[in-house]
């Protein structure tokens, strides 16, 4: 749109053009009313243009000017971006073109100029100037925006570099912290475990158990810190390795029960018999998920129990669809409030659950991990009825069967077992395990009902082979019940096992005084219970060898298996940084106490030399060692051109939890299996049993 009034600078020593402009002003309003400033020469025009402003200049080229284009250019350079329409005495196409190339908006000749032609030329020129001004303004704005955007991008890149540097520094800090703390813990935890197996009085046992529990709790905190530091939206890599689901859950339950025990809560894990044991997945991520879900349940529960239920939803030949559910006996909240805990940026008003921020963060981490596994997660709640946190995952099945365990379990078939515990959950846990081994199960809630059941069994000539009795029964305690049963001669066929917490574990003398032959700790673990039952119930097969010419029983075969694995020759390669703790001494003492034949070296290079010089059945190899680390040593062992005697030798890596995410890399390098520090005796024995027995001739 043209302005209401066009400001024109007329440079002409005559009056003819001014007259044309006057005629334009007298016409209708199609052409905007002009505001005319008239000067007679270029010098005056320059002063006027600089004083301006003007929309357009009509610049008359003197008739005697030999180089109109040069004259015009000199004038244009002095008046800046003012649009100029040159006026010539005569029409000359060649000159017109030269002037247009030099920057003229239009060209008019005095001999053909008319008011309409002049009006059209002025309107076009002013419109063009307006358009250019708008384009220039937009271009300036775009340039300013681009400059601001470049600065913002530069700042973002700078912040990204700072963030990456901080992330790297944080990860290095947590990794270093974990390594520094885990090294002494690797001495404390196994040593405390071995010390608990010795003869201690009640006060000594209580003190050692406090040390052990505190170390386990510290290890859990370190692991959680490491998991939180490594996990973000883009860092959710999952390992796919073979593992035993039941064994993994038992290892996890040892840690999860600590917090429950501190609050006086019962904790139990119920696994349906249909759930497969040998699967493929990421056991570390399971620990992470369950730690957060059980942690929320324990925090929100003040009395009662927390129970982890694992069930099989569906399966095919290759996969198993498994559901994990954590049930508590808390007051419960509304379903809407519970759903908010799984939403990012949610705000939940206290006191819905204690430590809401920490719980929400933990649940979100669990949610991301479950979804990365292709599963679902959620919560169910009703005020006054407790909460349930659940998730489902899809796990691949391993192509092996637990044949050996099934054969050994024949020794337990049809044995009658009584479980005496006030907790229905504990009784149910034991029942599921015992029925899987074809035992006959009965449960009792207290001493009175237990004695009645035992009496009825004797009267029916079908006595119980064994009774598992909880130490903390109501009214008549477990130890006193054991004394009562032992005094009654009619129950002599029933062996007694005392169930305790680790803190109240009894020594051998105390057990014998109350009539018990064995002590097992809660939470009851499958392997722990199985080994105890086989050992206690093996009355007719105490000898480790069969009679000459005879065939050993299944129970005897089990014990021969135990004896044979103690013949393994094991090499331990583990480094202990100066002043951090006796890792080699700890592992060596643990292995020696378990009865294994061991040799110890402190780096991978010495391990290779030992494997060249002698035959071994298995190697325990620390991942981080000077001169040559465990991965490099494993690669040399697997190299058919190396001088190592056995290139198929099982190599079990011992690593800090901070290196757990590299487990797949280690397995690809030739390592057979991985266990983490602090080394758990049960985990160590299971790994040796798995790999060492297969390696024996």
3-state secondary structure 258-317: HHHHHCCCEEEEEECCCCCCEEEECHHHHHHHHHHHHHHHHHHCCCCEEEEEEEEEEECC
| CA gap 433, 527 in Å, rounded | 10
* Residue 241 domain-assigned (yes or no): yes
Q: Among 325-334, 448-457, 609-618, which stretch is predicted with the lowest mean pLDDT?
A: 325-334
- What's the confidence (pLDDT) of residue 344? 57
Q: Do both 386 and 237 map to the same domain?
A: yes
CATH of the domain at 493: 3.40.50.2300
Q: Is residue 181 part of a domain?
A: no
Does residue 320 belong to any structural domain of this protein? yes
Confirm whether 431 is domain-assigned: yes
143: which 2 tokens?
A: 């340039």
Give helix 115-196 / helix 583-593 axis angle, nearest 10°.
Answer: 50
Q: Is the residue at 166 inside a domain?
A: no
Residue 457, pLDDT score: 92
> Is pLDDT above 80 for 29?
no
Q: Write down the mean pLDDT value for the chain.
A: 78
- Cα distance between residue 669 and residue 672, in whole Å: 9
* CA–CA gap between residue 462 and residue 666 (Å, rounded): 54
Q: Residue 207 falls within a domain, yes or no? A: no
- Asked whether residue 395 falls in the same domain as residue 464, the answer is no
- Please tell me whether residues 530 and 630 are part of one structural domain: no
The helix or strand, by DSSP H or E, that contains position 440, with its residue range, turns out to be strand 440-444
Residues 444 and 370 in one domain: no
Mark whether 535 and 574 lie in a shared domain.
no
Residue 492 has pLDDT above 60, yes or no: yes
Q: Check whether residue 240 and residue 387 sit in a common domain.
A: yes
- The reply to whether 246 and 359 lie within a common domain is yes
Among residues 400, 427, 455, which one ends one of the domains?
A: 400
Closest Cα to residue 679, out of 35, 72, 219?
219
Number of domains, the chain: 4
607 contacts: CB under 8 Å, gap ≥ 6: 571, 573, 601, 619, 621, 628, 633
Range of the domain at 324: 231-400
Using CA atoms, how far apart are residues 193 and 216, in angstroms rounded to an integer? 11
The three-point CA angle 196-201-207 to 5° equals: 60
SS3 432: helix
* pLDDT, average across residues 461-471: 93
- pTM, to two decimals: 0.47
Q: Is residue 433 part of a domain?
A: yes
Same domain, 274 and 377: yes
State the pLDDT at residue 89: 78
Residue 154 token pair: 């530069």
Going by C-alpha positions, the residue among 46, 24, 16 that lies closest to residue 6 is 24
Evaluate whether residue 649 is within a structural domain.
Answer: yes
Q: For residues 141 and 445, what is the distance between their CA atoms, to the nearest angstrom?
A: 82
Q: Residue 225: what pLDDT?
A: 65
| Domain endpoint, select from 81, 113, 145 | 113
- What is the predicted pLDDT for the residue at 420? 95
Q: Give the Cα separation of 491 and 499 in Å (integer).
A: 19
User: Whole-angstrom Cα distance, residue 483 to residue 356?
Assistant: 48
Q: Residue 322: pLDDT band by 50, 70, 90 thresholds?
A: very high
Residue scoring higher pLDDT (387 or 232): 387
Q: Are residues 422 and 351 in the same domain?
A: no
Show which of 113, 143, 158 is a domain's final residue: 113
Share of the chain above pLDDT 70, in %: 76
Q: Are residues 249 and 358 in the same domain?
A: yes
Cα distances from 609 to residues 574, 576, 643, 647, in angstroms, run 15, 19, 9, 14
The C-alpha angle with vertex 116 and arms to 110 and 119, in degrees rounded to 5, equals: 90
Q: Based on the domain organization, do 390 and 243 belong to the same domain? A: yes
Cα dihedral 484, 488, 489, 494, rounded to 10, equals -50
Bridge partners (DSSP) listed for residue 108? 87
Distance CA 86, CA 673 (A): 92
Q: How confident is the model at residue 511 (pLDDT cuts 50, 70, 90)?
A: confident
SS3 175: helix
Q: Which of 37, 41, 61 is nearest to 109 (CA)?
A: 61
Cα gap 374→281, rounded to integer Å = 12
* Token output for 642: 């190396």
CB of 355 within 8 A of CB of 300? no
What pLDDT is recorded for position 410? 61
Higher pLDDT, 410 or 353: 410
Task: Tell whether 589 and 658 lie within a shared domain.
Answer: yes
CATH number for 307 = 3.30.565.10
Strand order from edge to edge, sheet including 673-676: 597-601, 569-573, 618-622, 651-655, 673-676
Buried b vs exposed e over 15-42: b needs ≥16 C-beta within 10 Å?
Answer: eebeebbeebeeeeeebbebebbbbeeb
- The average pLDDT across 327-337 equals 79
d(CA 678, CA 587): 10
pLDDT digits (tens, 9 = 90+) for 566-619: 678 889 888 765 544 444 456 666 776 666 788 888 888 999 999 999 999 999
Across 163-177, 308-322, 323-337, 628-642, least confident range: 163-177
* Strands 5-11 and 33-39, bridge-based pairing: parallel
- Nearest Cα neighbor of 520 from 450, 449, 471, 453 is 471
């Amino acid at each position: 749109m043209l302005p209401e009034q066009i400001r024109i600078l007329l440079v002409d020593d005559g009056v003819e053009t001014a007259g044309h402009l006057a005629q334009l002003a007298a016409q209708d309003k199609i052409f905007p009313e002009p505001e005319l400033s008239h000067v007679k020469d270029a010098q005056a025009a320059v002063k006027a243009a600089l004083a301006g402003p003007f929309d357009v200049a009509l610049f008359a080229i003197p008739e005697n000017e030999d180089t109109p284009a040069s004259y015009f250019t000199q004038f244009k350079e002095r008046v800046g971006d003012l649009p100029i329409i040159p006026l010539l005495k005569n029409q000359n196409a060649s000159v017109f073109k030269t002037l247009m190339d030099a920057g003229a908006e239009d060209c008019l000749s005095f001999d053909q100029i008319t008011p309409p032609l002049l009006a059209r030329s002025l309107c076009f020129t002013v419109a063009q100037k307006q358009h250019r001004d708008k384009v220039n303004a937009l271009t300036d704005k775009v340039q300013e925006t681009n400059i601001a955007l470049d600065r913002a991008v530069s700042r973002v890149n700078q912040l990204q570099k700072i963030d990456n540097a901080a992330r790297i520094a944080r990860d290095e800090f947590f990794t270093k912290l974990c390594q520094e703390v885990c090294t002494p813990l690797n001495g404390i935890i196994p040593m405390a475990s071995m010390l608990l197996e010795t003869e201690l009085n009640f006060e000594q046992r209580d003190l050692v158990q406090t040390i052990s529990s505190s170390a386990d709790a510290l290890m859990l905190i370190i692991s959680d810190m490491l998991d939180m530091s490594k996990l973000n939206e883009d860092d959710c890599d999952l390992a796919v390795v073979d593992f035993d689901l039941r064994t993994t859950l038992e290892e996890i339950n040892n840690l999860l029960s600590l917090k429950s025990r501190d609050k006086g809560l019962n904790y139990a894990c119920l696994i349906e018999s249909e759930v497969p044991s040998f699967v493929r997945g990421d056991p570390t991520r399971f620990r992470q998920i369950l730690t957060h879900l059980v942690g929320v349940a324990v925090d929100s529960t003040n009395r009662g129990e927390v129970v982890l239920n694992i069930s099989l939803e569906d399966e095919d030949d290759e996969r198993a669809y498994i559901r994990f559910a954590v049930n508590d006996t808390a007051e419960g909240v509304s379903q809407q409030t519970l759903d908010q805990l799984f939403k990012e940026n949610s705000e939940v008003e206290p006191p819905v659950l204690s430590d809401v921020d920490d719980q929400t963060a933990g649940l979100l981490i669990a949610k991301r991990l479950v979804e990365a596994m292709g599963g679902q997660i959620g919560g169910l709640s009703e005020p006054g009825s407790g909460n349930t946190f659940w998730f489902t995952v899809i796990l691949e099945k391993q192509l092996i069967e637990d044949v050996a365990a099934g054969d050994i379990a024949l020794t337990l078939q049809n044995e009658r077992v009584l479980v005496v515990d006030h907790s229905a959950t504990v009784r149910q846990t034991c029942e599921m395990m015992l029925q899987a081994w074809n035992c006959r199960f009965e449960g009792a809630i207290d001493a009175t009902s237990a004695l009645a059941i035992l009496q009825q069994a004797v009267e029916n000539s079908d006595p119980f082979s064994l009774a598992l009795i909880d130490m903390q029964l109501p009214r008549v305690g477990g130890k006193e019940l054991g004394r009562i049963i032992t005094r009654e001669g009619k129950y002599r066929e029933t062996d007694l096992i005392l169930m305790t917490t680790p803190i109240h574990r009894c020594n051998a003398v105390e057990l014998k005084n109350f009539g018990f032959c064995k002590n097992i700790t809660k939470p009851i673990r499958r392997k722990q219970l199985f080994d105890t039952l086989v050992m206690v119930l093996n009355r007719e097969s105490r000898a480790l060898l069969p009679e000459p010419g005879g065939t050993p029983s299944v129970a005897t075969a089990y014990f021969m298996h135990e004896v044979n694995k103690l013949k393994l020759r094991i090499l331990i390669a583990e480094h202990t940084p100066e002043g951090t703790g006796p890792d080699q001494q700890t592992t060596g003492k643990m292995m020696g106490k378990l009865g294994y034949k061991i040799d110890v070296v402190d780096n991978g290079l010495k391990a290779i030399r030992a494997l060249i010089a002698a035959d071994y059945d298995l190697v325990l190899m620390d991942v981080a060692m000077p001169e040559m680390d465990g991965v490099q040593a494993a690669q040399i062992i697997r190299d058919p051109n190396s001088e190592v005697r056995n290139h198929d030798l099982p190599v079990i890596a011992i690593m800090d939890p901070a290196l757990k995410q590299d487990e797949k890399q280690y397995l690809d390098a030739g390592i057979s299996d991985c266990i983490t520090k602090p080394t758990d005796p049960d985990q160590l024995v299971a790994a040796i049993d798995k790999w060492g027995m297969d390696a024996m001739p």
